[in-house]
Amino acid sequence: METVWFAIVSAMLATYVVLDGLDFGVGIVHCFVARTDQERRTVLAAIGPAWDGNEVWLIAAGGVLFMSFPRTYSTAFSGFYLALMIVLWLLILRGVAIGFRSHQENRLWREFCDTVFSLASALLSVVFGTSLGTLVRGVPVDRQGLSGMPLFTNFLPGKVPGIFDWYTSLVGLFTLALLAGHGALFLVWRTTGPVHERSRQIARRVWRGVVPLWVVVTLATAWVQPEIFAKLLARPWSVVFVLIMLAGVWGVFKYGNSGRELAAFLSSSAFLLGVMAATMVANYPFWLRSTVDESYSLTAANTASASYGLQVALVWFAVGITLAVAYFVNLFRSIGSKVGEDADGHGY
């Protein structure tokens, strides 16, 4: 059962990356694609119906992790306390900036909110990318667990690394570029007018940088944690996720250049899903790999809840996730036509 729940938590995290990742990407590029107040309202209107709902997947994933792997949850939250507080405040600032920007007519206030939205989205992308890199690299879990990790030590991987080193920062930079491209493609699909044209130009430029960064991160991962690729090779079925990544990259350029906007955005989503799935499959069974001694690592097997509890929870989870998926499918189907500069009534 622990394998099933490892896959469930991983799938929920991947869903969060795709859905809220597009909101982060929109935040990263919105000051570049929108130059007037009305254009920025257009950008916010494009994500308006769904951005706060997309964030729920992170909360849901955390709740499921707490239920199925409580020791992993407690160790991670205590060890990454500082990073989690940073994430919490950035999420708060991002939500406040979106919700309150139009409560004042003052131009300076709206510029301030737009800047906060952009910076918070960019920093969240880097922090979440760094967190993924940290899971791959490993953390200094010892006999007592994981004490509070500093943000950085000597900026090098090792037995007692910080959250940021050259490798995790590289993954954070890759995530920043990837989500910026993802968000730009969403705006290409959802908007018209000048915002649409600028988003198309930025998406094309950013994705040209994403591909070489992807190659560099892959090579760096092979150097820092070669076991990752050994496990992928040992599980031939995992090649499916690699193919999804390759198909996603191909689709972004193929459909982006041919004007098939929704197909290009879905290709970007496929690439994100492929990256997350391949990473989690290669990392299994580890949740927190110890850089001190692998015997201290937290895995799906040694941190799982009782088997009976997991079996009962699976029944209720099936009901809940069916309702959640149905809601999100209906939400995105009801979004309707593109958003233009004449969009009103979105509260932003």
d(C-alpha 61, C-alpha 65), whole Å = 6
Q: Which of 152-161, 186-195, 210-219 bottoms out in mean pLDDT, i.e. has the lowest? A: 152-161
pLDDT per position as a tens digit, 235-256: 888 889 999 999 999 999 999 8
What does the pLDDT read at residue 345? 47
Site of tokens 């491209």: 181
The length of the chain in residues reads: 348
d(C-alpha 288, C-alpha 294), whole Å = 10
Cis peptide before 285 (omega within 30 of 0): yes
What does the pLDDT read at residue 348? 53
Per CATH, the number for 2-333 is 1.20.1630.10
129 CB neighbour count, 10 Å cutoff? 24
Structural domain spans, the chain: 2-333
Instruction: Average the pLDDT over 219-228 and give the result.
Output: 90
- Three-state DSSP class for residue 299: strand
Backbone torsions φ then ψ of 159, nearest 5 degrees = -70, -35
What does the pLDDT read at residue 336? 65
pLDDT more than 90, % of the chain: 60
Which has more confidence, 200 or 259? 200
d(C-alpha 139, C-alpha 134), whole Å = 7
- Any residues with CB less than 8 A from the CB of 130 and at least 6 apart, and which? 163, 164, 168, 169, 171, 172, 175
pLDDT per position as a tens digit, 122-156: 999 999 999 999 999 999 888 888 877 788 888 88
d(C-alpha 92, C-alpha 114), whole Å = 14
Q: Is 218 a residue whose pLDDT tops 80?
A: yes
309 CB neighbour count, 10 Å cutoff? 13
Q: Which amino acid is at 232?
A: L
Q: Is the dihedral of CA 224, 129, 267, 114 positive or negative?
A: negative
Provide the mean pLDDT of the chain. Answer: 89
Angle between helices 261-283 and 166-190 (to 10 degrees): 150
What does the pLDDT read at residue 208? 95
pLDDT per position as a tens digit, 176-196: 999 999 999 999 999 988 999
- Three-state DSSP class for residue 288: strand
What does the pLDDT read at residue 216? 96
Residue 142: beta bridge partners?
A: 145
d(C-alpha 281, C-alpha 299), whole Å = 13
User: CA 54 from chain center: how many Å?
Assistant: 11
Q: Is 344 a residue whose pLDDT tops 60?
A: no
What does the pLDDT read at residue 315? 93
